[in-house]
Amino acid sequence: MLTIKQITENTDAVIRGLEKKHFKNAKETIDQVIAFNDKRRSTQSVLDNNLSEVNSISKSIGQLMKEGKKEEAETAKSRVAELKETNKTLQAEMDQAAEDMQNLLYTIPNIPYDEVPEGVGAEDNVVEKMGGMETELPKDALPHWELTKKYDLIDFDLGVKITGAGFPVYKGKGAQLQRALINFFLDEARKAGYLEIMPPTVVNAASGYGTGQLPDKEGQMYHCEVDDLYLIPTAEVPVTNIYRDVILEEKQLPIKNCAYTQCFRREAGSYGKDVRGLNRLHEFSKVELVRIDKPEHSKQSHKEMLDHVEGLLQKLELPYRILRLCGGDMSFTAALCFDFEVYSEAQKRWLEVSSVSNFDTYQANRLKCRYRSGEKKTELCHTLNGSALALPRIVAALLENNQTPEGIRIPKALVPYTGFEMID
């Protein structure tokens, strides 16, 4: 959430940033926030003056009574009663203005950094880097949904029977491959200094608001209405909320956490060939990285996270590219975001496998996540997160890009985790 200080001290820059994200009615919305804030402050000023007057008059009443000035004392009492009634109205007005301002702030996205390119959608993202191994496949190469059937790795129809479309059942070496990737990603994160967390996979509404999934993505989350709980779309939500309403010491930063969870997304409106097989699921496995950092170090943290994800893709021997997302294609909460995509040789398309984002103070302001600096004053932290990695499309690319006439080859880095070199 944007801070009032950001908005009031850098109004024009905030509006430009929101326009870069193609947020509709940016100026009108910011003007409304400022109006609510002005109303809150002016009402607070009158209320403070009234309270001061009440205190002053109340102190004088006793003295007036001692001096026998009953009439003046009664007049003072009437004035106090009048002010108290007025103050009730003022307090209600101030509370309403603050609530209206807060609710409006929840609907405003983060503003992008200057280095975020202009653009409306995915076609305007900038390719920062390409890497990995080129793949040569047999002429009769199959997409992963055919390979999983051929080698009995994943049963999509069984998932439909048990739950519905988008909930596959992993079997045999397909399940072993999933577990191998999860353990590989977690081990690599631990080696890089991340503390593993095993969080809940359902969260309350306060957690959703804390990281910005609510109210922006409410329709994309599975909602357990009886208990008012949400299935998590990513481990970012529970792990980052560990630090909600927490004041950290400067020496604790940066905090580096990782977590493996199942993730749940309704993906409402998704259909067509691009969602076949593992390309888009309602439930999937993912290892997530989360960092809490000081503002002056968060860009370095972001770079380290990008290097970590790139290293994973290199070890998996997959062709990849890194995209700097344009303003119109960034998430609601991100100030700067890079996507990693792997190339599916069989599908002849790029598949997104990770987004690594810096949220600046946007989430921290919602979370009230602060740190105490050397001068003992508290400041908002910066939060960052990234997938390292999301499994479905990684599995799709691994199966498709490593198919041979003898079977599907397992990358060397994964063999110690799978216990086999080939799926045949």
Q: In sequence order, what are the residues at sequence separation of 6 or more whose Cβ sits closer than 8 angstroms to the Cβ of residue 95?
A: none
352 is in an annotated binding site: yes
> According to DSSP H, which parts of 154-269 are helical?
156-162, 172-191, 205-211, 236-240
Secondary structure (3-state) at 234: coil
29 is in an annotated binding site: no
User: Per residue in 137-159, pLDDT tens?
Assistant: 888 899 999 999 999 999 999 99
Kindly give the pairing relationship between strand 370-372 and strand 247-249. parallel
361 is in an annotated binding site: no
267 is in an annotated binding site: yes
**Residue 64: predicted pLDDT:** 81
User: Per residue in 383-421, pLDDT tens?
Assistant: 999 999 999 999 999 999 999 999 999 999 999 999 999
155 CB burial (10 A radius; 0-12, 13-18, 19+): middle
291 is in an annotated binding site: no
**How much is the average pLDDT of 269-284?**
80
The residue written with tokens 């790795």 in the block is 153
127 is in an annotated binding site: no
User: Per residue in 4-24, pLDDT tens?
Assistant: 999 999 999 999 999 999 999
**Residue 379: predicted pLDDT:** 95
Phi–psi pair at 228, nearest 5 degrees = 55, 50
pTM for the whole thing? Answer: 0.92
User: Per residue in 346-382, pLDDT tens?
Assistant: 899 999 999 999 999 999 999 999 999 877 789 999 9
Confidence of residue 36 (pLDDT cuts 50, 70, 90): very high
- 399/145 Cα distance (integer angstroms): 10
Confidence of residue 117 (pLDDT cuts 50, 70, 90): very high
User: Per residue in 80-102, pLDDT tens?
Assistant: 889 999 999 999 999 999 999 99
196 is in an annotated binding site: no
198 CB burial (10 A radius; 0-12, 13-18, 19+): exposed
Domains annotated on the chain, with CATH? 4-106 (1.10.287), 122-423 (3.30.930.10)
- Classify residue 405 by its DSSP letter: T
67 is in an annotated binding site: no
- Classify residue 325 by its DSSP letter: P
Sign of CA dihedral 335, 364, 192, 189: negative
**Residue 221: predicted pLDDT:** 95
Q: In sequence order, what are the residues at sequence separation of 6 or more whose Cβ sits closer than 8 angstroms to the Cβ of residue 397?
A: 318, 342, 343, 344, 351, 353
Q: Mean pLDDT score of the chain, rounded to an integer? A: 94
